[in-house]
Protein backbone atom coordinates (compact mmCIF):
# COMPACT_ATOMS: atom_id res chain seq x y z
CA UNK A 1 0.00 0.00 0.00
CA UNK A 2 1.38 3.42 -1.01
CA UNK A 3 2.17 5.61 1.96
CA UNK A 4 0.36 8.93 2.37
CA UNK A 5 2.67 11.93 2.71
CA UNK A 6 -0.15 14.49 3.13
CA UNK A 7 -3.55 13.81 4.66
CA UNK A 8 -6.12 16.61 4.65
CA UNK A 9 -9.45 15.91 6.39
CA UNK A 10 -12.38 18.31 6.53
CA UNK A 11 -10.25 21.42 6.10
CA UNK A 12 -12.30 24.61 6.43
CA UNK A 13 -10.97 28.16 6.34
CA UNK A 14 -13.25 31.19 6.63
CA UNK A 15 -12.62 34.89 6.28
CA UNK A 16 -15.62 36.42 8.07
CA UNK A 17 -18.52 35.60 5.73
CA UNK A 18 -16.34 34.08 3.00
CA UNK A 19 -15.59 30.35 3.09
CA UNK A 20 -12.32 30.07 1.19
CA UNK A 21 -11.89 26.33 1.80
CA UNK A 22 -15.00 24.26 2.44
CA UNK A 23 -14.57 20.91 4.25
CA UNK A 24 -11.79 19.83 1.92
CA UNK A 25 -10.37 16.28 2.14
CA UNK A 26 -7.65 14.68 0.02
CA UNK A 27 -4.38 12.75 0.23
CA UNK A 28 -1.02 13.02 -1.51
CA UNK A 29 0.81 9.73 -1.94
CA UNK A 30 4.52 9.18 -1.54
CA UNK A 31 6.48 9.70 -4.75
CA UNK A 32 3.69 11.27 -6.81
CA UNK A 33 3.39 14.65 -8.45
CA UNK A 34 -0.04 16.06 -7.62
CA UNK A 35 -1.33 18.90 -9.78
CA UNK A 36 -3.45 21.29 -7.72
CA UNK A 37 -5.44 23.44 -10.16
CA UNK A 38 -8.15 26.04 -9.98
CA UNK A 39 -9.08 29.54 -11.13
CA UNK A 40 -8.15 32.54 -9.01
CA UNK A 41 -10.18 32.49 -5.80
CA UNK A 42 -10.67 28.72 -5.92
CA UNK A 43 -8.84 28.13 -2.61
CA UNK A 44 -5.50 26.76 -3.89
CA UNK A 45 -3.24 29.22 -2.10
CA UNK A 46 -5.30 29.10 1.08
CA UNK A 47 -5.17 25.31 1.09
CA UNK A 48 -1.38 25.24 0.63
CA UNK A 49 -0.84 27.89 3.31
CA UNK A 50 -2.99 25.90 5.72
CA UNK A 51 -1.06 22.70 4.95
CA UNK A 52 2.21 24.56 5.67
CA UNK A 53 0.77 26.01 8.91
CA UNK A 54 1.18 29.53 7.57
CA UNK A 55 -2.53 30.10 8.14
CA UNK A 56 -4.79 29.11 11.00
CA UNK A 57 -7.91 27.25 9.88
CA UNK A 58 -11.35 26.89 11.42
CA UNK A 59 -11.89 23.15 11.15
CA UNK A 60 -10.17 20.00 9.99
CA UNK A 61 -6.98 18.02 10.39
CA UNK A 62 -3.72 18.07 8.49
CA UNK A 63 -1.09 15.37 8.80
CA UNK A 64 2.28 15.26 7.05
CA UNK A 65 4.50 12.16 7.23
CA UNK A 66 1.80 10.69 9.49
CA UNK A 67 2.27 13.47 12.05
CA UNK A 68 -0.03 16.34 12.91
CA UNK A 69 1.16 19.52 11.19
CA UNK A 70 1.51 22.51 13.53
CA UNK A 71 3.31 25.88 13.34
CA UNK A 72 6.03 24.57 15.67
CA UNK A 73 6.45 21.18 13.91
CA UNK A 74 10.07 21.93 12.99
CA UNK A 75 11.00 18.28 12.36
CA UNK A 76 8.34 18.13 9.65
CA UNK A 77 9.21 21.52 8.17
CA UNK A 78 12.85 20.50 7.72
CA UNK A 79 11.67 17.85 5.26
CA UNK A 80 9.65 20.33 3.19
CA UNK A 81 10.80 22.55 0.33
CA UNK A 82 8.64 25.48 -0.77
CA UNK A 83 9.20 27.42 -3.99
CA UNK A 84 6.71 30.25 -4.33
CA UNK A 85 6.01 32.09 -7.57
CA UNK A 86 7.78 35.26 -6.44
CA UNK A 87 11.56 34.88 -6.59
CA UNK A 88 13.15 35.29 -3.14
CA UNK A 89 16.96 35.39 -3.19
CA UNK A 90 19.66 37.73 -1.85
CA UNK A 91 20.82 40.19 -4.48
CA UNK A 92 24.25 40.66 -2.83
CA UNK A 93 25.08 36.93 -2.86
CA UNK A 94 26.22 34.88 -5.85
CA UNK A 95 24.29 31.91 -7.18
CA UNK A 96 26.36 29.45 -5.15
CA UNK A 97 26.30 31.62 -2.01
CA UNK A 98 22.50 31.94 -2.19
CA UNK A 99 21.99 28.20 -2.47
CA UNK A 100 24.56 27.57 0.28
CA UNK A 101 22.78 29.99 2.61
CA UNK A 102 19.34 28.40 2.23
CA UNK A 103 20.74 24.87 2.36
CA UNK A 104 22.71 25.76 5.49
CA UNK A 105 19.49 26.52 7.34
CA UNK A 106 18.80 22.78 7.33
CA UNK A 107 22.14 21.05 6.73
CA UNK A 108 24.69 22.05 9.39
CA UNK A 109 27.61 19.87 8.31
CA UNK A 110 29.65 22.05 5.90
CA UNK A 111 30.88 19.18 3.73
CA UNK A 112 27.42 17.67 3.40
CA UNK A 113 25.96 21.12 2.71
CA UNK A 114 28.46 21.75 -0.10
CA UNK A 115 27.61 18.41 -1.67
CA UNK A 116 23.92 19.32 -1.56
CA UNK A 117 24.67 22.71 -3.13
CA UNK A 118 26.65 21.06 -5.93
CA UNK A 119 23.82 18.60 -6.58
CA UNK A 120 21.24 21.41 -6.69
CA UNK A 121 23.34 23.48 -9.09
CA UNK A 122 23.71 20.51 -11.41
CA UNK A 123 20.02 19.64 -11.17
CA UNK A 124 18.83 23.07 -12.32
CA UNK A 125 21.64 23.59 -14.85
CA UNK A 126 23.46 26.52 -13.24
CA UNK A 127 27.01 25.11 -13.32
CA UNK A 128 28.21 27.92 -15.59
CA UNK A 129 26.70 30.62 -13.37
CA UNK A 130 28.02 29.80 -9.88
CA UNK A 131 29.72 33.19 -9.39
CA UNK A 132 26.99 35.30 -10.98
CA UNK A 133 24.93 37.76 -8.92
CA UNK A 134 21.14 37.45 -9.37
CA UNK A 135 20.96 40.79 -11.24
CA UNK A 136 23.16 39.28 -13.97
CA UNK A 137 20.78 36.35 -14.56
CA UNK A 138 17.95 36.16 -17.08
CA UNK A 139 14.41 35.59 -15.82
CA UNK A 140 14.65 31.87 -16.58
CA UNK A 141 17.99 31.45 -14.80
CA UNK A 142 16.67 33.40 -11.83
CA UNK A 143 13.75 30.99 -11.49
CA UNK A 144 16.17 28.07 -11.66
CA UNK A 145 18.12 29.66 -8.81
CA UNK A 146 14.91 30.09 -6.83
CA UNK A 147 14.15 26.39 -7.24
CA UNK A 148 17.70 25.37 -6.29
CA UNK A 149 17.46 27.38 -3.08
CA UNK A 150 14.23 25.60 -2.15
CA UNK A 151 15.34 22.03 -2.84
CA UNK A 152 19.07 22.01 -2.02
CA UNK A 153 18.50 20.44 1.41
CA UNK A 154 16.87 17.46 -0.36
CA UNK A 155 13.35 17.74 1.09
CA UNK A 156 11.02 14.77 0.93
CA UNK A 157 8.01 16.98 0.16
CA UNK A 158 8.15 19.91 -2.28
CA UNK A 159 5.58 22.61 -3.09
CA UNK A 160 6.10 24.28 -6.47
CA UNK A 161 3.96 27.31 -7.31
CA UNK A 162 4.07 28.41 -10.95
CA UNK A 163 7.79 27.63 -11.40
CA UNK A 164 7.84 28.30 -15.17
CA UNK A 165 5.96 31.60 -15.39
CA UNK A 166 7.51 33.97 -17.95
CA UNK A 167 10.64 31.89 -18.63
CA UNK A 168 12.33 31.08 -21.92
CA UNK A 169 11.70 27.65 -23.52
CA UNK A 170 15.17 26.35 -22.61
CA UNK A 171 14.75 27.21 -18.93
CA UNK A 172 11.22 25.82 -18.95
CA UNK A 173 12.38 22.46 -20.31
CA UNK A 174 15.26 22.44 -17.83
CA UNK A 175 12.89 23.11 -14.93
CA UNK A 176 10.46 20.39 -16.01
CA UNK A 177 13.30 17.89 -16.40
CA UNK A 178 14.55 18.85 -12.95
CA UNK A 179 11.12 18.28 -11.40
CA UNK A 180 10.98 14.80 -12.96
CA UNK A 181 14.41 14.05 -11.48
CA UNK A 182 13.25 15.18 -8.04
CA UNK A 183 10.32 12.78 -8.25
CA UNK A 184 12.57 9.99 -9.55
CA UNK A 185 14.85 10.61 -6.56
CA UNK A 186 11.94 9.98 -4.19
CA UNK A 187 10.43 13.41 -3.58
CA UNK A 188 6.69 13.96 -3.37
CA UNK A 189 5.57 17.12 -5.18
CA UNK A 190 2.52 19.38 -5.06
CA UNK A 191 2.48 21.41 -8.27
CA UNK A 192 0.41 24.44 -9.25
CA UNK A 193 0.52 25.95 -12.72
CA UNK A 194 -1.55 27.73 -15.35
CA UNK A 195 0.03 25.68 -18.14
CA UNK A 196 -2.10 22.61 -18.78
CA UNK A 197 0.50 20.98 -21.03
CA UNK A 198 2.85 20.89 -18.02
CA UNK A 199 0.18 19.11 -16.01
CA UNK A 200 -0.17 16.46 -18.70
CA UNK A 201 3.61 16.01 -18.89
CA UNK A 202 4.35 15.92 -15.17
CA UNK A 203 1.40 15.10 -12.95
CA UNK A 204 0.45 11.60 -11.86
CA UNK A 205 -2.85 12.89 -10.50
CA UNK A 206 -4.82 16.14 -10.63
CA UNK A 207 -7.21 17.87 -8.24
CA UNK A 208 -9.32 20.74 -9.57
CA UNK A 209 -10.66 23.15 -6.96
CA UNK A 210 -13.38 25.76 -7.26
CA UNK A 211 -15.06 27.71 -4.47
CA UNK A 212 -12.94 25.82 -1.93
CA UNK A 213 -14.19 22.38 -2.97
CA UNK A 214 -12.89 19.55 -5.12
CA UNK A 215 -14.92 19.46 -8.34
CA UNK A 216 -12.81 16.80 -10.08
CA UNK A 217 -9.96 14.44 -9.19
CA UNK A 218 -7.99 11.76 -11.00
CA UNK A 219 -5.45 11.18 -13.75
CA UNK A 220 -5.54 13.48 -16.78
CA UNK A 221 -7.12 10.68 -18.82
CA UNK A 222 -9.81 10.16 -16.18
CA UNK A 223 -10.58 13.87 -16.11
CA UNK A 224 -10.91 13.97 -19.89
CA UNK A 225 -13.44 11.16 -19.67
CA UNK A 226 -15.60 13.40 -17.45
CA UNK A 227 -16.05 15.92 -20.23
CA UNK A 228 -19.25 16.05 -22.23
CA UNK A 229 -17.09 16.89 -25.22
CA UNK A 230 -15.66 13.73 -26.80
CA UNK A 231 -14.12 15.16 -29.97
CA UNK A 232 -12.98 18.60 -31.10
CA UNK A 233 -12.61 19.43 -34.79
CA UNK A 234 -10.73 22.54 -35.85
CA UNK A 235 -11.07 24.04 -39.32
CA UNK A 236 -8.87 26.87 -40.59
CA UNK A 237 -10.94 28.66 -43.24
CA UNK A 238 -11.30 32.22 -44.47
CA UNK A 239 -14.65 32.00 -46.22
CA UNK A 240 -17.07 30.26 -43.87
CA UNK A 241 -20.57 31.59 -44.55
CA UNK A 242 -23.28 32.11 -41.90
CA UNK A 243 -25.44 29.59 -43.78
CA UNK A 244 -22.83 26.83 -43.55
CA UNK A 245 -22.15 27.68 -39.92
CA UNK A 246 -25.84 27.21 -39.12
CA UNK A 247 -25.82 23.81 -40.87
CA UNK A 248 -22.84 22.72 -38.76
CA UNK A 249 -24.46 23.98 -35.57
CA UNK A 250 -27.59 21.94 -36.28
CA UNK A 251 -25.74 18.63 -36.73
CA UNK A 252 -26.93 15.94 -34.32
CA UNK A 253 -23.87 15.48 -32.11
CA UNK A 254 -22.60 19.07 -32.07
CA UNK A 255 -22.33 20.45 -28.52
CA UNK A 256 -21.03 23.85 -29.58
CA UNK A 257 -19.27 25.63 -32.42
CA UNK A 258 -17.38 28.91 -32.63
CA UNK A 259 -15.90 30.77 -35.59
CA UNK A 260 -13.30 33.39 -34.68
CA UNK A 261 -10.20 34.81 -36.44
CA UNK A 262 -10.69 32.45 -39.41
CA UNK A 263 -10.70 29.38 -37.14
CA UNK A 264 -13.79 27.22 -36.67
CA UNK A 265 -13.88 24.99 -33.58
CA UNK A 266 -16.61 22.36 -33.32
CA UNK A 267 -17.20 20.26 -30.20
CA UNK A 268 -19.01 16.92 -30.39
CA UNK A 269 -20.51 14.66 -27.71
CA UNK A 270 -19.71 11.56 -29.78
CA UNK A 271 -16.87 10.37 -31.99
CA UNK A 272 -18.78 8.76 -34.86
CA UNK A 273 -17.56 9.89 -38.30
CA UNK A 274 -17.64 13.57 -37.36
CA UNK A 275 -14.60 14.52 -39.41
CA UNK A 276 -15.96 12.92 -42.58
CA UNK A 277 -19.32 14.60 -42.04
CA UNK A 278 -17.75 18.04 -41.68
CA UNK A 279 -15.50 17.55 -44.71
CA UNK A 280 -18.47 16.50 -46.85
CA UNK A 281 -20.57 19.45 -45.67
CA UNK A 282 -17.80 21.98 -46.39
CA UNK A 283 -17.12 20.55 -49.84
CA UNK A 284 -20.81 20.50 -50.70
CA UNK A 285 -21.11 24.18 -49.78
CA UNK A 286 -17.90 25.07 -51.61
CA UNK A 287 -16.07 26.16 -48.47
CA UNK A 288 -12.30 25.96 -48.91
CA UNK A 289 -10.05 25.41 -45.90
CA UNK A 290 -6.31 25.48 -45.24
CA UNK A 291 -6.31 22.82 -42.55
CA UNK A 292 -8.74 20.56 -40.73
CA UNK A 293 -7.97 18.20 -37.88
CA UNK A 294 -9.60 16.23 -35.10
CA UNK A 295 -8.36 15.84 -31.54
CA UNK A 296 -9.49 14.63 -28.18
CA UNK A 297 -10.52 17.37 -25.73
CA UNK A 298 -7.56 18.87 -23.91
CA UNK A 299 -7.28 19.20 -20.15
CA UNK A 300 -7.91 22.92 -20.61
CA UNK A 301 -11.22 22.11 -22.36
CA UNK A 302 -12.19 19.95 -19.39
CA UNK A 303 -11.20 22.66 -16.93
CA UNK A 304 -13.26 25.25 -18.80
CA UNK A 305 -16.26 22.93 -18.93
CA UNK A 306 -16.07 22.08 -15.21
CA UNK A 307 -15.42 25.56 -13.84
CA UNK A 308 -16.88 27.79 -16.54
CA UNK A 309 -13.67 29.81 -16.35
CA UNK A 310 -10.35 29.99 -18.07
CA UNK A 311 -7.52 28.90 -15.78
CA UNK A 312 -6.16 32.44 -15.67
CA UNK A 313 -9.46 34.08 -14.69
Q: How many domains does the chain have?
A: 2
pLDDT of residue 300: 85
pLDDT, residue 306, reads 82
In a domain, 310, yes or no: no
> Same structural domain for residues 145 and 257?
no
Residues 27 and 151 in one domain: yes
Instruction: List per-residue pLDDT tens for the chain, 313 residues long.
Output: 679 999 999 999 999 999 999 999 999 999 999 999 998 889 999 999 999 999 999 999 999 999 999 999 999 999 999 998 889 999 999 999 999 999 999 999 999 999 999 999 999 999 999 999 999 999 999 999 999 999 999 999 999 999 998 888 888 999 999 999 999 999 999 999 988 899 999 999 999 999 999 999 999 999 988 878 889 999 999 999 999 999 999 999 999 999 999 999 999 998 889 999 999 999 999 999 999 999 988 888 888 888 876 655 5
Closest CA to 37 of 183, 177, 207: 207
Asked, for residue 301, whether it belongs to a domain, the answer is no
Look at residue 119 and tell me if it is in a domain. Answer: yes
- Same-domain pairing of 50 and 184: yes
Q: Does 239 map to a domain?
A: yes
Is 313 among the domain residues? Answer: no
Contact, 107 vs 153, CB < 8 A?
A: yes
In a shared domain, residues 142 and 202:
yes
User: What pLDDT shows up at residue 301?
Assistant: 82
**Are 135 and 240 contained in the same domain?**
no
- Residue 310 phi/psi, 5-degree rounding, is -75, 150
Give this prediction's pTM.
0.86
Q: What CATH number did the domain enclosing 235 receive?
A: 3.30.70.100
Residue-level pLDDT at 312: 56
Residue 18 lies in a domain: yes
Residues 38 and 113 occupy one common structural domain: yes
pLDDT of residue 208: 94
Examine the domain organization and report whether 56 and 138 are in the same domain: yes
Domain end among 183, 205, 225: 225
Contact 179, 160 (CB under 8 A): yes
| DSSP string across 174-218 | HHHHHHHHHHHTT-EEEEE-S-HHHHHHH-SEEEEEETTEEEEEE
Co-location of 99 and 239 in the same domain: no
Is 217 inside a domain boundary?
yes
Looking at the fold, whether 217 and 244 belong to one and the same domain comes out as: no
Task: Based on the fold, state whether residues 161 and 270 are members of the same structural domain.
Answer: no
- The residue range of the domain holding 291 is 229-296
Q: Is 312 a domain residue?
A: no
Q: Do 221 and 282 belong together in one domain?
A: no
3-state SS track over 248-309: HHCCCCEEEEEEECCEEEEEECCCCCHHHHHHHHHHHCCCCCCEEEEECCCHHHHHHHHHCC
| Residue 311 pLDDT | 59
Per-residue pLDDT, 168 = 87
Domain end marker among 199, 225, 251? 225
* Whether residues 127 and 212 fall in one domain: yes
Amino acid sequence: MTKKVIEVKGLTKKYKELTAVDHLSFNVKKGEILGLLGPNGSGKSTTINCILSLLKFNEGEIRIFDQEMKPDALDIKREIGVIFQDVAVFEELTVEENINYFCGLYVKDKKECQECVDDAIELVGLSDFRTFLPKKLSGGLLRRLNIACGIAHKPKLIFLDEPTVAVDPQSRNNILDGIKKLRDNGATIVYTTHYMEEVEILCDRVIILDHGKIIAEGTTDKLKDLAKIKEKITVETRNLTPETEKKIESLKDVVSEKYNDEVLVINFNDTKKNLAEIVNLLEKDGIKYERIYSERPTLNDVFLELTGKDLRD
